[in-house]
Every structure is written in C-alpha cells, then in structure tokens.
Structure 1
Amino acid sequence: MTGDFRFGVNMVVPDSRAAWVGKCRQAEDFGFDVVSAADHLGMAPPFPALVLAGEVTSRVKLNTYVLNTPFYNPVLLARDVTGTDRFTDGRLELGLGAGYVKEEFEAAGLPFPSARERVDHLERTILELKRAYADPEHKPAPARPEGPPLLLGGRGDRILTLAAEHADIIGFTGTAKSPDAGALVPASAEDIGERVEFVRSKLGDREAEFNLLCHFVKITEDRAGALEDLAKLTHGVLSAGQLAEVPTALVGSPAEVAEQLHAHRERFGLTYYTVLEHDMAQFAPVLEALR
C-alpha cells in the first residue's frame, strides 16, 4: 500500500508475451499494488494473463477488472478461479460485473439478457463460487478456505446491494446515464456521493474497501487549463469546476493529485483507485508523492 491507499492498473492492450511481461514488471516497479486484466473481446484472456503476470512479479495482487460474468458458466468459472488462485499463490482478487456491452454478446453469438437477468446470473455465480470454496471435494481448492477477495463493480441499486451483501471490495464506476441519449457520461461528485451513501446504508456492520475506476488522469503543472480541456473533451457534461471535484478526474501536479486523493478519501471513503494502462507511467509520480 502507498500510505492509506491502494492503486491498481488495468491492462487493456493484448501484447506479445514479452510486452505483457515487461509492462507487468513495470507496474510493480512503479509501486502499483494491483495488476488487473480487463475482460472484453479483443483483449487478453484474463486468467492466463494473470497467471503469467504472477510468474514474473512477486508482490502485486492480480485482479480481473471485471469479468463479463454472463459469459461464464458458474461451475466452470469456479474451476478457473480456484485454479488461478492456486497458481498465483493466493494473490488473486476476483472482480465480477454484470456485463453491459451488447455488441460483445452479439459477436459471441449469445443473446443479450435484460439487466435483471444479467444481475440474476451474477448472483447465481457468486453463490456457486461460495459453494465451491466451502466444498472440501472441490478441486482445485482455493489458496484460502474463503476464496479470493471479491470485488463487485457497478452503479445500479441492485448490483450495489449485491455488492454490499457479498463483496470485500466495492467498485464504483463514476459514470451516469446521459438524460439525452442514455450513454454513459462522467458522474458529478454529488452523484458519486449518493451512490456511496446508498452502499453504506446497505452495508450495515460489514466493512468493505471502496474502489474507483479513474477515467481521466492528467499530470500537469497547469491544472486549470487541463480541466478546461477535459470539460471540452466530455462535451460540457460537467464544467471545469465540477470536474475539479470528481474523483474520476485526477488532474494536476503529483502533489496536487495526492492532495485530491486525500480529499476524496475524506468525502467518499475511497482508498483503492484503478487507472487505465495508458495512464500508468504518468501516474507513477503520484505514488512517489504519497510515500
């Protein structure tokens, strides 16, 4: 951990073996705590990618961020999860999502279930995984009796309720639906705060780590100018002033971003951030600033 925080990098480019090995080692050398593999068609297959990452690193946790769970049979997935957990000596963190890209289902020749059906399948999968972990006859067994830590990510009431009931780590997307076209756009700080409070109301006495996927990283000495550029890039959905308050946009010098992270921890309880692969190198100085 870097201070009171954890940081992950989500790998999205399906490189050669040598390139994959190199960037996983680089992430560990930079000081990231977690190396993640995304789960989309056209990207690296998550479980083999994480086993390889585990072979060439020594410290980082290894995360699926997040699995397109409706693609998977729960019983077969349990085998892949426990096997990967074993092969990485218990360094696996299992991230699950309900799936949302209709075109990927079509490309795979699969029907696109309704949102309710996708979350139903996610819940069945969680229960099957728990059953497998607890079954002494299940082979391969997970590295720990309770299985790898579970991350559930999403923004809707039902999936966040499921996360509050089962997840060790709750991932917030930091996005909202556009009122015009239904597309995903950056959520305001107030929207993210409402989602966080919703989860807290469901957690009760349980504790969970709060994670956020950071969509926009810009390390620069011109914070004001970069925020204005970002407002234009996102078509004015949020103003530069509003973007200055959202935890999905980490903009400024390394010291300024470190200050933002502390402020977001106080406001939202966020202690675990995931950045995208293309932001890995420029975010590294922030890790130094936090030490």
Structure 2
Amino acid sequence: MRPFRFGVDLVVPGSRAEWVEKCRKAEDLGYDVVAAADHVGMAPPFPALVLAAEATERVRLNTFVLNACFHNPVLLARDVTGTDQFTAGRLELGIGAGYVEAEFHAAGIEWGTPGQRFARLERAVAELKRAFADPDHRPAPVRPEGPPLLLGGRGDRVLKLAAKHADIVGFTGTAATKVEGRMSLAGPAELAERVEFTRKALNGRDVELNLLVHVTRITDDRRGALEAVHERVPDLGVDELGELPTVLTGSAAAVADQLLRTRETLGISYFTVIEDDLTRLAPVIEHLRGR
C-alpha cells in the first residue's frame, strides 16, 4: 500500500500576500501537495508555484492540471524545467487536454474535436519526454527523467496515454455523460470500472493513483449532508453518494475509514480537494497521518 498523500488545488486568484498565506496554511494543515489550476481568470500556474515554493518548506508543487492546448510544447518544456529548477525539484507536472470550451474561445485557440485536443496533449507529452531525455536541454530538469508526470481524465484514450507515460494517473470522478449546469459524478461502479480499465492498460507498471474529491463535509449529520449533495447530483441516489470517495461526508474518523477502504479496494492513495475544502479535510489528514 502506498502511503496517503493529500493535495489542494488553489483556484481563487488574489494578491501576493493572500497566495502566500494560503500556501503556508495548506502546509501547516498537513497537506502534501499545493496545486495551481490552469484556467483563464485564475493565477498563472508556473509563477504561482514558484511563489508557493518560496513561501513553504515541505510541500510538493503541482499543476492541476495544465491545459496542453494553451501551450506551445517546446516553450512548455522550457517553462517546466525552469520551474522545476526554481522549486528545487519539488514540481509535479499535471497536464490534460482542456475541457472548458469558453476558455478556448476567450484565448483565441481553436476548440476542435476531442480527437484534436487529445492529439495536442499527446504531442505535448512526447515533447516533454524528449526534452527531459536530452542531456543538452536547458534549463535542465532536477531529475534526469524530469518531474513526476500526472496525466488524468476519464476517457479511454487519455487513460491509456497515462498508463503508458505517467507517474501518477488522475481520475476526475465525473460521469461519462454530463448535464449542462449541473455536477455529474461517476457512480461507484463507473469509478471502479475506470480504475480497473487503467490497471489493465498499465500491465503491471506501478504508478500512484490520484482522485479529485468534489465534496467534503465533516459533520455529525452524514445523512443530511448526503441529501444536500443529492439535490446537486440528482442522478445518483443518497446511498450511492455515500459510497463515493469523491463525496466525503461524516465525522473525520468516518471519512478517514472511508479513505482507508478506498485505498484497499481501488488502490487510490492520493486525494486532491478544491480550495473551498482546504480546511474541511484537515481533521481527516490528521487522522491518517503516517498511514
């Protein structure tokens, strides 16, 4: 069993002082990873992570996740290895194909088909791997193989790509079909199937598995919290939501037990929450410290 790791994806832009304060808070609360998202209207990920490195001592720094379509692959390799150097090798590189069509239009970048976006991601991964392996590439990565690579999603193509190249495979926990304007989560069976699909594609290769947690509510009224989530996610029943590791509800001890079961049954040991849940997950992290 891999030890637990917990990350927080910081998505709220703010002043330098505000960014420094929440990075330090995450480290003080026991998080292992501080991540920066890559969306229009949010903090630029690479400068944000360099600042996070200056403000903290221990946490890893992750792009969660870069939109490959926003970046020229050659220039991206430069920015990745430069940030890896400036963070003293604490960088983890999360990268995906992008999913918010309005942001592509805002940036003047062709939205294209899913296949075209995947091809851009595949090209970016290939260029990064080529740059990391080139002894003459400058700036040089801290590790000869480059920073750990996180690739994730839910579709077959991206999970196969992750199984081939990634050090960390990330699962979004979302459903295959989405309803406009409404959260759509994969049920327990669908999530388990995606993990099993990835394991078969890995063919015995050992990687870390990451899951994005969409809801965290530490409460003595677990049923009431699940019913509130059900109003936002009506496609799944209350009992189904209670089984999901993407919906963490109940006392800190109960949620800790749930994550222990998830690690045992699915092999997922690395969990990431969004910034709103930064303080909510902290007592669970305390329960699982050293596990």
Question: How far apart are residue 37 of structure 1 and its match?
Answer: 0.1
Q: Distance in 2 between matches of 1:72 and 1:147?
A: 18
Q: Secondary structure of the equivalent of 2:145?
A: coil
Task: Give the CA RMSD over aligned residues.
Answer: 1.4
Question: How far apart are residue 4 of structure 1 and its match?
Answer: 2.2
1:240 is matched with which residue?
Answer: 238
Q: Is the 8 A contact 2:188 2:244 kept in 1?
A: yes
TM-score (norm 1): 0.96
Question: How far apart are residue 136 of structure 1 and its match?
Answer: 1.7
2:248 is matched with which residue?
Answer: 250
Q: Distance in 2 between matches of 1:132 and 1:167?
A: 16
2:165 is matched with which residue?
Answer: 166
Q: Secondary structure of the equivalent of 2:276?
A: helix
Larger CA deviation: 225-234 vs 86-95: 225-234
Deviations 1:20-50 (A, max 9, x none): 0000000000000000000100000000000
Q: Secondary structure of the equivalent of 1:151?
A: strand
Q: 1:226 to 1:180 in 2, by over 3 A?
A: closer
Alignment of structure 1 residues 208-227 onto 2, 5 Å:
208-227=207-226
Q: Distance in 1 between matches of 2:167 and 2:67?
A: 19
Question: How far apart are residue 242 of structure 1 and its match?
Answer: 0.2
Q: Distance in 2 between matches of 1:244 and 1:147?
A: 39
1:45 is matched with which residue?
Answer: 44
Q: Distance in 2 between matches of 1:184 and 1:135?
A: 43
1:21 is matched with which residue?
Answer: 20
Question: How far apart are residue 205 of structure 1 and its match?
Answer: 2.2
Q: Is the 8 A contact 1:176 1:184 kept in 2?
A: no
Q: 1:225 to 1:92 in 2, by over 3 A?
A: same
Q: 276, 279, 286: which one pairs with 2:277? A: 279
Q: Secondary structure of the equivalent of 1:174?
A: coil
1:146 is matched with which residue?
Answer: 145
Equivalent position amino acid for 1:280 in 2: L
Q: 1:192 to 1:83 in 2, by over 3 A?
A: same
Deviations 1:60-114 (A, max 9, x none): 0000000011111000000000000000000000000011111000001111121
Larger CA deviation: 193-202 vs 220-229: 220-229
Q: Secondary structure of the equivalent of 1:244?
A: helix
Q: Distance in 2 between matches of 1:62 and 1:139?
A: 21
Gaps of 5+ in 2: none
Larger CA deviation: 178-187 vs 212-221: 178-187
Q: Distance in 1 between matches of 2:256 and 2:181?
A: 33
Structure 1 segments, 4+ long, off by >2 Å, are: 177-184
Q: Distance in 2 between matches of 1:179 and 1:137?
A: 45
Q: Distance in 2 between matches of 1:212 and 1:282?
A: 17
Q: Distance in 2 between matches of 1:85 and 1:57?
A: 15
Q: Distance in 1 between matches of 2:133 and 2:173?
A: 34
TM-score (norm 2): 0.96
Deviations 1:152-186 (A, max 9, x none): 01000000000000000000010013376697611
Equivalent position amino acid for 1:256 in 2: A
1:259 is matched with which residue?
Answer: 257
Q: Distance in 2 between matches of 1:136 and 1:142?
A: 10
Q: Is the 8 A contact 1:177 1:183 kept in 2?
A: no
Q: Distance in 2 between matches of 1:240 and 1:266?
A: 23
- Alignment length (residue pairs): 288
Q: Is the 8 A contact 2:182 2:232 kept in 1?
A: no
- Aligned-residue identity in percent: 61
1:289 is matched with which residue?
Answer: 287
Q: Distance in 2 between matches of 1:222 and 1:186?
A: 22
Gaps of 5+ in 1: none
